[in-house]
Amino acid sequence: MTLDDILFEAEEKMTKTEEVVLHEFSGVRTGKASPALVENVVVDVYGAQMRIRELAGITTPEPRLILIQPWDVNTVHPIEKAIQKSNLGINPTVDKKCIRLVLPELSQERRTELTKVVRKLSEDGRVAVRHVRRDSIEHLKKLKQDGKLAEDEEKTAEKAIQKLTDDFIGKIDAALAAKEKEIMTV
C-alpha cells in the first residue's frame, strides 16, 4: 500500500462516514415530513422482511403528511402494522390503497429528546472518523518500519490525515448544528 493509497482510502472512508451520519439525521423526525422517516421500517411480507421503500412509493404531498402507496394492495395492512410497531409515535391511517401518516406537532420535551438523539449520532460519526485516522496512521507507521517511507514524509502524511479528520469532523458538526436548529424550529 502506498502513501497515496492510504490518504485516498482515509478520505473515502471518512466521506462514507459523513454520508451515513447525514442519512441517519434524515431519519430523525422534525416538524417536517420526510420519506426517510419511514423508508427503512422493516415489514414482514411474502414470508420475508422487506423495507417499506422496497414495497411502496413514499411521497410527502404536504409539509406534515407522508403518503405511502404500496405497489401491491395486499401489503397495505402489513405495512400499517410495521409502522405501528416502530417507535415513530405516528398512527397510520389506511385509506383503501394507501397509508397516510399525519405528523403531529412536536412538544418541546420531544424536541429536546430528538436533539440528544442527533448529538449521539454525530458523536458516533466523529468516533468513526477518528478510527479511520488511527488506522491510517498505523498504516503509515508500518510503511516507515518497512523502510518504504521517510520520517519527514510520515510527518507530512500524518498532518494531511489530521487535516482530513478535522475537515470531516467540522462537516459533521455543521450538519449537527443545522439539524438541531431544524428540530428546535417550531
Q: Is the pLDDT of residue 174 over 80?
A: yes
Q: Is the pLDDT of residue 86 over 90?
A: no
pLDDT at residue 135 in the model: 94
Every domain of the chain and the residues it spans = 3-26+107-184, 35-102
- Position 186 confidence tier, pLDDT thresholds 50, 70, 90: low
pLDDT at residue 24 in the model: 84
Least confident of 52-61, 82-91, 142-151: 82-91
Instruction: Label residues 47-74 b or e (16+ Cβ within 10 Å = b).
Output: eeebebeebbebebeeeeebbbebeeee
pLDDT at residue 184 in the model: 83
Mean pLDDT estimate for the chain: 88
pLDDT at residue 58 in the model: 92
pLDDT at residue 126 in the model: 96
| Residue 181: burial class (beta carbons within 10 Å; 0-12, 13-18, 19+) | exposed
CA pair distance 101, 92, nearest whole angstrom: 5
Quick: pLDDT tens for 4-21.
Answer: 888 999 999 999 999 999
Least confident of 1-5, 56-60, 103-107, 157-161: 103-107
pLDDT at residue 95 in the model: 86
Higher pLDDT, 128 or 25: 128
| Residue 129: burial class (beta carbons within 10 Å; 0-12, 13-18, 19+) | buried
pLDDT at residue 167 in the model: 95
Domain 3-26+107-184: assigned CATH number: 1.10.132.20
H/E run at residue 20: helix 3-26
Mean pLDDT of the 53-82 span? 90
Write down the number of H helices and E strands in the chain: 5, 6
The structural architecture, per CATH, of the domain 35-102 is 2-Layer Sandwich (3.30)
Higher pLDDT, 29 or 163: 163
